[in-house]
Homo-oligomer: A and B are copies of this chain.
Amino acid sequence: MANDKKLVEAITSMEEDFAQWYTDVVKKAELIDYSSVRGCMILRPAGYAIWEKIQQELDRRFKETGVENVYMPMFIPESLLQKEKDHVEGFAPEVAWVTQGGLETLQERLVVRPTSETLFCDLYSNIVQSYRDLPKLYNQWCSVVRWEKTTRPFLRTTEFLWQEGHTAHATAEEAEERTQQMLKVYADFCEEMLAIPVVKGRKTDKEKFAGAEATYTIETLMHDGKALQSGTSHNFGDGFAKAFDIKYTDKNNKLQYAHQTSWGMTTRIIGAIIMVHGDDSGLVLPPRIAPTQVMIVPIMQKKEGVLEKAFALKEQLSECFSVKVDDSDKNPGWKFSEQEMRGIPVRVEIGPKDIEANQCVVVRRDTREKQVVSLDELKEKLGEILETMQKDMFERAKTHRDQHTYVAKDYEEFKTIAKEKPGFIKAMWCGDESCELKIKEDTTVTSRCMPFEQEKLSDTCVCCGKPAKTMAYWGKAY
């Protein structure tokens, strides 16, 4: 038992230091490793497998709405990036520049893509001519680079993986519909697959994407009460179309500008999974997104028949679940700790006595609830346990979020909550950026979104006291 003690001790507790707990978990669960490249991380098999599951499921949901995948170059010529004014101002300060190719110095510098709006626009301006060519519903899975000064695994890294969808439509209405449709895809995905409740809303002008008319967002709340922007969907109107000359002939033979959207979700969502569900023993993966759902740990595995039975069970259960056997030469206690650290939803223990009694011990990762289950009923029982666990995890996360969502009716109250109670603050706002700036300066809290589900908390802005235009969510954010 000395071994598993050592492993557990190696994690800082959440209460003691949440940031250190987080770093410990991503390393100890072998999700990432640091690389020789400043700010870039290595996604190890356990981390990448979660991303693969996310990809598969999101990709399926995208394709159901008619989206097709493409691949665009990773480089953007400087002149192309500069075509849309707000966009280049937003991104130019934080990009990596390629200045030399082979032995020659480039005549025009290339940007390593921070996002690919400009490339998609360039393509659309070439391939969209008629209303028949619309809509274009393209997406790509790739990595992008933003030169960050301070980085944290998954949450903020120089290079990160994501998908970026880019669509072009005939009308403003269609573009708006698509922007909201994709936000809903993200929201449903988060809630159904990741067991993470979201707040859907619109970003303020200050917080919206560089070049967008409107940015919609899903905001989630981490265990420490900080918010995480977890997916965004942008409506560009015809701004990019005008900058890039994306025009089509409509049914009346008139030239019209296209209307565009883009939307993205990144590997930072893995950070959300960790920070919403994790505990002091490590990662806790929601069953629907866990690359391995069931880990069979043989007890006294050197005894005749134990490993055989473990692998036979695996074979049988693999029809319904993703199952592995931990047959390494470590002791069971160590294995338990290790599989808990990795967040495997369910552990099945089976030893000689269990085999004799035609049973096994099933342990849930989140509650640590133990049950003795007859092998005849194991498959059915596991299905129930995994489904229950998925639901319970969502409910727990929702309860935590609701318990950490506060209402501030005046500025004193707002400041006190901001100081003392980590979480979301709901408060009315006049819509002026000056109040956003003042709130940020006074409290380090920023506007998260103007939620689709509005409530009228009072008539006046929580900051300036002028008539309120909207309710907003506020919070400290990653």
Contact = CB atoms under 8 A, between A and B. Distances in A.
Interface of A: 33, 35-37, 40-45, 48-49, 51-52, 68-77, 80, 93-103, 110, 112, 119, 122-123, 126-127, 132, 138, 142-143, 145, 147, 149, 158-159, 161, 328-329
Contact of A99 (B52, B69, B99): B99
A146 to B, nearest CB: 9
Contacts of A69: 45, 48-49, 52
Contacts of A35: 72-73, 119, 122-123
A72 B159 CA distance: 10
B45 A77 contact: no
13 contacts: A33-B127, A35-B72, A41-B73, A42-B72, A42-B73, A43-B70, A43-B71, A74-B143, A96-B110, A97-B99, A101-B147, A102-B149, A112-B112
A132 B35 CA distance: 23
A112 to B, nearest CB: 7
B101 A40 contact: no
Nearest to A160: B71
Contacts of A80: 36
Which 4 pairs show the lowest CB-CB distances between chains A and B?
A: A40-B73, A102-B147, A45-B68, A43-B71
Total copies of this chain within the assembly: 2
Main DSSP-derived SS at the A contact region: mixed
A20 B311 CA distance: 56
A292 to B, nearest CB: 12
A35 B75 CA distance: 10
A36 B122 contact: yes
B122 A74 contact: no
B110 A102 contact: no
Nearest to A41: B73
Nearest to A76: B37
A121 to B, nearest CB: 11
Contacts of A98: 96-99, 112
A100 B75 CA distance: 14
B123 A77 contact: no
B49 A68 contact: yes
A70 B97 contact: no
B97 A93 contact: no
A76 B122 CA distance: 29
B102 A37 contact: no
B95 A70 contact: no
B96 A145 contact: no
Nearest to A161: B71
Contacts of A76: 36-37
Contacts of A147: 101-102
Nearest to A67: B45
Contacts of A127: 33
Nearest to A43: B71
Contacts of A93: 102-103
Contacts of A97: 98-101
Contacts of A149: 102
Given A42-B70, A99-B99, A112-B112, 7 more contacts: A41-B73, A42-B71, A42-B119, A42-B123, A51-B71, A94-B102, A101-B147
A145 to B, nearest CB: 7
Nearest to A101: B147
